[in-house]
Structure 1
Amino acid sequence: MASAPASREPAAARLAASTPWDAEADDTLVCLAVRRETHDVKTFVLAAPEPRRYAYAPGQFLTFAFEIGGETVHRCYTLSSAPTRPHAVSITVKRVPGGPVSNWLHDTLKPGDTVRALGPMGEFTCFAHPAPKYLLLSGGSGVTPMMAMARTFHDLGESRDVAFVHSARTPADIVFRGELETMARLDPAFRVHAICEADAPDEAWAGPKGRLSPAILREAVPDFLEREVFVCGPAPYMAAVRAMLSEAGFDMARHHEESFDFGTLPEADRAAAAQAEQALDAEGQDRPLAAPVVRTFRVEFAKTRRVLDCPEDSTVLDAARRAGIRLPSSCAKGLCGTCKSKVTSGTVAMAHAGGIRQREIDAGMALLCCSKPTSDLVVER
């Protein structure tokens, strides 16, 4: 992180900006403001050093490179801002106990500081699924992409039929509570429902208590079976919603959930799936057909001095997991950039989905989640 003078650009000049922001050309963002949403949630408003316009779809995310303790740490954060307000972007972050990035953001990032970002990315957006009626379901910090969608609909003034159902621990944990209530008051077609597990120390919750259930959902949104549904939250919450909708006979083709769960580490599940795929491949090789010869390459991690063998048909990340080596990763799809690493020796075949810039590739960087070796490798990890 570096510090830069807080923007003195006149507001009129920033609003008149006609140049789109391009992360390929300039990935630096300046923190303009830090806003406290709840006792453990803050919003960070960011913009380029010079006036720029941001184009993205509500629900998309940016991948950030934070300099923490002398190391570069990558994290993905969904934009909570709306593209209808294109002159700045914002991320809303919950402080996680022991979380190195969320705590650093809450304790350190201040107006005038700079960070680096790449994006926008992601396919989780209402823009990709136009519909007359929407149901937005969120749990905890999963509220951020839903807020981006709700703000966008509100700004466009379409009076689109939107039901927003949010689950929180207590009334004090309802993020954007005041803004959501104001939007619902101004637009009768926008309805907000909150569910709290318990009372707050200074407020007894008068609404539905406990966790989202079929009965609570039917009471809040009787016509939920007719809506396009977007879901984001912790993995158990999304799994429960998925099962609930399926059991209710919902057309799951109209169910969309955030493809990243930033509050959990699903590596174990993906590693198990990779092992199952390998087992199936092994069973197939028992057939009386000649199995193709698969070359194996040596991969050395320079900093940790770990060495493993990686078949040419396996990604480096999958091979590392099978060898018990934990590497930073999130999406495992070449989108987020979390596993970006410098390959100091050797070559790879990489099929990424936008999580790395061409200039980084030219400098020898690679996304280990989607890179398969074509020679022996030395990786700067």
Structure 2
Amino acid sequence: MKSFHALVPFFLSAAVLVAAACPAVSQVPPGEHNSHHPQQSSPTADSAATDTSSGRGMPGGKADGTNSGMGGMGEMMQDMGKPPGKELYPSLMQLPDLSPERRAKISQLANERIDRGNTLLSLGLQKLRDAAGSQYFAGIQEANEQIRAGQALVQSGLAAQQALAENKNPREIALKWFRQEMNLTPYQEVEPPHGFFGLSWFHYLTMLVFAAFAVAMIWMYFHKMKRANALIEKLAGKSPEKIPAPGEAKPVAPPPAKGEPAPNAEPAKGEPVTAKGTPPLVGPGLAPSKPNSWTGTLLVTEIFDETPNVKTFRLTDPAGGKLPFNFLPGQFITITINLKGVPVKRSYTIASSPTRRDYCEITVKHEEKGTVSHYLHTEVHIGELLQFTAPSGKFTFTETHAESAVFIAGGVGVTPMMSAIRYLTERSWKSEIFFFFTCKNESSIIFREEILYLQKRYPNLHVWFLLEEPVSNPTDSFIKGRITKEILAERVPDIITRMIHICGPPPMMNAVKEMLDELKVPKEMVMTEVFAGPPPKPKTVSPTPEEKGKPPVDEEVAKPFTSEEAGKTGVVTFAKSNKTAVLTPDKSILEASEEVGVNIDYSCRVGTCGICKIKLNSGKVTMAVEDALTEDDKTQNMILACQAKATEDVSVDA
């Protein structure tokens, strides 16, 4: 910048003079011109030309008309060191700090330049007219140069007067001219950076706003999480988690640890358990969950009285939002409670539709000898947290399962049917649904109002209630008496082509299956859900011939008992655990495992969920129910620990 300021006088002079009048080179040598016009030498013009190059900061033309821009600039640079009495534009460099006397002197010099410029213009115009009349082209060129010289004098004087009047800095004038000539962008003074890292106050303010926003978002997040945790703790505090008094039940408990004993209790009659049927199918918007893939707590948010001895419990996620698992219509959920420090498990079918993702409902009948059902009806209230494992079961039906559906339910066995009916109607399934519901009397009809409402709303849903006791207002939908094959054949056209689901007490289910056999309905078209009840005749299972010769385990370590020592009892050897236990005729292998601390997972304890499957290594067992075993399971010698009993020595892979 210092070197640039040193050249400011040069830029200023060039801006005012060269931009206004670019010197031209004569087309005819001076000698030739004088030979044609020996008398046309103009002393006035010569003096003007000499004046323009006399060192007053303005490039001018020589008297002979041969001056050039570079020559004039050279003379100007040579004259810059002359006494200040003849300065014009070098004196302007001191603006705006000039004294009034210097300003007057510069104004006088500027006026003199304007006067000399006007004289040159007049003479040049006259010479141009004469040369043009005689078509003397060299004279025309000379006249043109003289006019330019006059214009330069006038422009320079006017520029000086303007600078004095506006008090402008001549350096800015020179710099502007230089940028125009070099085609540069206009110069803008940039404010030097200040502060840390050279940032402006705008940057600091912007960063401050964003930092405040981030802090506010973080605070809101932690505040929200704190409130959610407080709510969960509050809800958890409502359940009786405190140390119970002697004999008092605990409603919530973690899953039993490995080897922890469980009660030797069978489900009470009428309590819903699991399913037998085809593999789960996936309906639109549904995803099958892996059996027992989720374990956690659910919050009881509503309790509905369906009948005098049946209640529905609505369960939600304690943290809010959707349920932490998916399920299909007809699957069950397993509850675990602690009674006097002993964990007890029972399975109940989910009665609500899978389309309701914010909650699920179980409908439970109160049985006098039902351990868990009695506890749910008498001890559980809204706001309690209960331990569940969900979901499981193969007794499912979606719109992809068959082209139509026939549901036959008895008592609380309506729960899987209700889940399917709710699901199908909510998804506006247009195929036919035939629903037969057998009950003792009208007051025992579970979901009566809702079923009648759905029947009225959806023409493809056909409902019949079959009641043992007389009906107060008989209609086509209310039939006195039990279900018969004539009723089925009359009300279900082409019944042999329909998919049929049966759920209820074993006597009712056995009677219906016999009716369907008589109606020639293929067995693969009949699906059943089993309830606990009087056990059927046990079936004997033996190991394969290949398994008979295999020793169960190291007998010195794992066989302290023998059948002879135990009398008419058997001994079960748990091969993986190296433990043995005595089997009495009424004790299952699952119960024996709990006595010696061998962990065999289970859920329903009635032989329908299949969770307690284990392999029989040697010996023979009998099973009252084997619905959860597939043909492949039987081929591989798998048994159900909750059903398997023996009076001889056996070995299992557990």
State the TM-score, normalizing by the size of structure 1: 0.71
Matches within 5 A, 1:86-105: 86-105=357-376
Query: What is the aligned partner in structure 2 of residue 152 from structure 1?
Result: 423
1:254 is displaced (CA, Å) by: 1.1
> Pick from 292, 304, 322: which aligns with 1:35?
304
> Pick from 348, 356, 371: which aligns with 1:77?
348
1:82 is displaced (CA, Å) by: 0.6
Which amino acid is the alignment partner of residue 56 of structure 1? F
Task: Tell me, yes or no, if the aligned pair for 1:135 and 1:229 is still in contact at 8 Å.
Answer: yes
> Pick from 586, 593, 602: which aligns with 1:324?
586
**1:4 aligned onto 2:236:** yes
1:253 is displaced (CA, Å) by: 1.2
Query: What is the aligned partner in structure 1 of residue 541 from structure 2?
Result: 277
Distance 1:299 1:235 in 2: 41
1:104 is displaced (CA, Å) by: 1.2
Distance 2:340 2:399 in 1: 39
Q: Whose RCO is larger (CA < 8 A, sep 6+)?
A: 1
Of Structure 1 and Structure 2, which has the larger fraction of its residues in helix?
A: 2
Query: What is the aligned partner in structure 2 of residue 216 from structure 1?
Result: 487
1:320 is displaced (CA, Å) by: 6.4
Unaligned runs of 5+ in 1: 7-19, 301-306, 340-352, 354-366, 376-381
> Pick from 125, 135, 141: which aligns with 2:406?
135
Secondary structure of the 1:167 match is: strand
1:315 is displaced (CA, Å) by: 12
Which amino acid is the alignment partner of residue 376 of structure 2? L
Cα pair distance change 1:249/1:117, threshold 3 Å = same
Cα pair distance change 1:37/1:311, threshold 3 Å = same
> Pick from 175, 190, 197: which aligns with 2:468?
197
1:123-172 per-residue CA deviation (whole Å, 9 max, x = no partner) reads 11013962111101101111000000000001101222111111001011
> Share of identical aligned residues, percent?
27
> Pick from 432, 437, 456: which aligns with 1:185?
456
Cα pair distance change 1:227/1:186, threshold 3 Å = same
Task: Tell me, yes or no, if the aligned pair for 1:62 and 1:77 is still in contact at 8 Å.
Answer: yes
1:33 is displaced (CA, Å) by: 0.5
Task: Tell me, yes or no, if the aligned pair for 2:352 and 2:418 is still in contact at 8 Å.
Answer: yes
- Of 144-153 and 93-102, deviating more is 93-102
Unaligned runs of 5+ in 2: 1-233, 239-287, 562-568, 592-601, 615-627, 629-639, 645-650
1:74 is displaced (CA, Å) by: 0.3
Higher gyration radius (CA): 2
Secondary structure of the 1:131 match is: coil
Query: What is the aligned partner in structure 2 of residue 57 from structure 1?
Result: 328
Task: Tell me, yes or no, if the aligned pair for 1:333 and 1:370 is still in contact at 8 Å.
Answer: no
Of Structure 1 and Structure 2, which has the larger fraction of its residues in strand?
A: 1
Query: What is the aligned partner in structure 2 of residue 235 from structure 1?
Result: 506
Query: What is the aligned partner in structure 2 of residue 309 from structure 1?
Result: 571
> CA RMSD, aligned part only?
3.9
**1:126 aligned onto 2:397:** yes
Cα pair distance change 1:265/1:52, threshold 3 Å = farther
Task: Tell me, yes or no, if the aligned pair for 2:407 and 2:434 is still in contact at 8 Å.
Answer: yes
Cα pair distance change 1:35/1:333, threshold 3 Å = closer
Cα pair distance change 1:25/1:192, threshold 3 Å = closer
Distance 1:119 1:46 in 2: 12
**1:166 aligned onto 2:437:** yes
Distance 1:3 1:101 in 2: 22
Aligned length: 313
1:319-375 per-residue CA deviation (whole Å, 9 max, x = no partner) reads 866543253962446645799xxxxxxxxxxxxx9xxxxxxxxxxxxx954996568
Which amino acid is the alignment partner of residue 491 of structure 2? A
Task: Tell me, yes or no, if the aligned pair for 1:330 and 1:336 is still in contact at 8 Å.
Answer: no
Distance 2:305 2:491 in 1: 29
1:101-123 per-residue CA deviation (whole Å, 9 max, x = no partner) reads 11111111111011111111111
Distance 1:245 1:374 in 2: 39
Task: Tell me, yes or no, if the aligned pair for 1:132 and 1:160 is still in contact at 8 Å.
Answer: yes
Which amino acid is the alignment partner of residue 325 of structure 1? K
1:194 is displaced (CA, Å) by: 0.7
Task: Tell me, yes or no, if the aligned pair for 2:435 and 2:462 is still in contact at 8 Å.
Answer: yes
1:39 is displaced (CA, Å) by: 1.1
Distance 2:447 2:432 in 1: 20
**1:47 aligned onto 2:316:** yes
Distance 1:162 1:26 in 2: 34
Task: Tell me, yes or no, if the aligned pair for 1:62 and 1:121 is still in contact at 8 Å.
Answer: yes
Matches within 5 A, 1:234-313: 234-258=505-529, 260-261=530-531, 263-264=532-533, 266=535, 269=537, 272-273=538-539, 276-278=540-542, 291-295=549-553, 297-298=558-559, 309-311=571-573
Secondary structure of the 2:401 match is: coil
Query: What is the aligned partner in structure 2 of residue 359 from structure 1?
Result: none
Cα pair distance change 1:25/1:122, threshold 3 Å = closer
Query: What is the aligned partner in structure 2 of residue 350 from structure 1?
Result: none
1:208-240 per-residue CA deviation (whole Å, 9 max, x = no partner) reads 222111122223323322211111011111111
